[in-house]
């Protein structure tokens, strides 16, 4: 898709290039009506300005729907791989180039191939503790007028995965599905997928399908908790799981479940596999796991969809908590409260009005942005 201006933005589309490092990056600040643009920095080989804009627009509505004082933004750095030393140089060159805009117009966060370490590098380069969230827990700062230090809350605490699990629980409740014993598939077993698994297992759900980039596994009676815990703690790949039935990537989509959670890459549900999927609901843990057209097809079939900008909002709510100086406990309580409230609001309205949940969510988000704009102009 191309970048086109509309009533929401984008306000800034910036291309950054460092000729010495040959570092190329993009920053799109889509809309700042509700507050500074909030969105992560992804580092991939093929990232483009168009992709960054698409994600920034998602953040505009995600933050509005989560009822946070943030606008929408996203950043991308073209990264073909290299040493940690080179990666740090890329991050800090990018940070210095946009430092005049942060944190007043843009607040960074982790995304694909960036985490707490990269956020520490980022704030070191900008010289502003508030310029990024998702920082290490031991990166603290005593702010003027405050008695206690404010510390980072890394996304490795599992905020996004917890929000996904909470979304699944509330959606299951809406469909009168008992989350205890519900058969669940999770596609993608990184930070989001592993924590979604952890919290769903604690709720009593039965995860029967897991997949990462290389391996898909079917466990009819649910995964062995001890073995999966070891996989997660030692950051192993699913191929190291001893047990279950190794299946093809295609077969993963054919096994019937109560809840399907795509937590991997963009457009992972597509024309090739959409008609093979048999599930009662899809909770979109990853950003844009399918096109809106395919979403509508599932809705017409009676499959309940919890859209990405609702289901995976735990990460940005965590960012808000860190920005406010909350501790991890208060952060999790905030995610629990906001996710439950928003998922119920959207799904109940969706059912009552017979509208696609994404359409309902968009209406709510747009009304919040427009109301704020009208109130301040």
Please list the active-site residues: 74
What DSSP assignment string belongs to 117-142? HHHHHHHHHHT-GGGBSS--TT-EEE
Taking alpha carbons only, the member of 229, 178, 231 closest to residue 205 is 178
CB 332 within 8 A of CB 159: yes
From CA 70, how far away is CA 328, in angstroms rounded? 20
Residue 327 CB coordination number (10 Å) = 14
Distance, in Å, from the CA atom of 80 to the CA atom of 190, rounded to the nearest integer, reads: 20
DSSP structural state of residue 265: S
Q: Residue 72 has which token pair?
A: 């929408």
Q: What are phi and psi of 226, to 5 degrees?
A: -65, -45
Q: Kindly tell me the burial class for residue 148, based on how many C-beta atoms sit within 10 Å of its own C-beta (0-12, 13-18, 19 or more).
A: exposed
Q: Which long-range contacts (CB under 8 A, 24 or more apart) does 361-367 make?
A: 361/61, 361/65, 361/307, 361/309, 361/310, 362/61, 364/64, 364/65, 365/60, 365/61, 365/62, 365/64, 365/65, 365/309, 366/61, 366/64
């Amino acid at each position: 898709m191309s970048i086109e201006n509309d009533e929401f933005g984008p306000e800034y589309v910036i291309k950054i290039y460092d000729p010495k490092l040959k570092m190329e990056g993009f920053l799109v600040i889509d809309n700042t009506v509700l507050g500074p643009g909030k969105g992560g920095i992804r580092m991939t080989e093929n990232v483009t300005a168009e992709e960054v804009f698409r994600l920034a627009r998602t953040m505009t509505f995600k933050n509005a729907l989560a009822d946070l004082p943030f606008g929408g933004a996203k950043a991308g750095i073209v990264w073909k791989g290299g040493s940690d030393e080179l990666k740090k140089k890329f991050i800090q060159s990018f940070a210095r180039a946009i430092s005049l805009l942060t944190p007043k117009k843009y607040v960074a966060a982790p995304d694909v191939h960036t985490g707490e370490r990269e956020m520490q590098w980022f704030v070191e380069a900008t010289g502003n503790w508030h310029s990024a969230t998702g920082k290490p827990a031991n990166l603290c700062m005593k702010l003027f007028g405050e008695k206690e230090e404010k510390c980072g809350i890394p996304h490795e605490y599992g905020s996004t995965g917890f929000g996904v699990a909470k979304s699944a629980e509330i959606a299951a409740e809406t469909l009168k599905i008992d989350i205890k014993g519900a058969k669940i598939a999770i596609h993608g077993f990184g930070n989001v997928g592993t924590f979604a698994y952890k919290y769903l297992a604690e709720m009593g759900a039965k995860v029967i399908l897991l997949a990462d980039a290389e391996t898909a596994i079917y466990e009819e009676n649910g995964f062995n908790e001890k073995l999966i815990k070891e996989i997660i703690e030692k950051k192993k790949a699913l191929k190291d799981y001893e047990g279950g039935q190794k299946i093809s990537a295609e077969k993963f989509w054919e096994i019937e479940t109560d809840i399907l959670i795509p937590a991997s890459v963009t457009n992972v549900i597509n024309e090739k596999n959409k008609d093979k999927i048999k599930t009662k609901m899809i909770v979109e843990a990853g950003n844009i796991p399918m096109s809106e057209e395919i979403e509508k097809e599932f809705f017409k079939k009676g499959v309940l969809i919890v859209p990405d900008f609702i289901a995976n909002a735990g990460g940005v709510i965590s960012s808000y908590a860190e920005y406010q100086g909350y501790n991890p406990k208060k952060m999790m309580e905030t995610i629990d409260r906001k996710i439950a409230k928003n998922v119920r609001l959207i799904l109940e309205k969706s059912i009552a009005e017979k509208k696609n949940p994404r359409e309902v969510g968009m209406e709510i988000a747009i009304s919040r942005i427009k109301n704020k704009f009208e109130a301040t102009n």
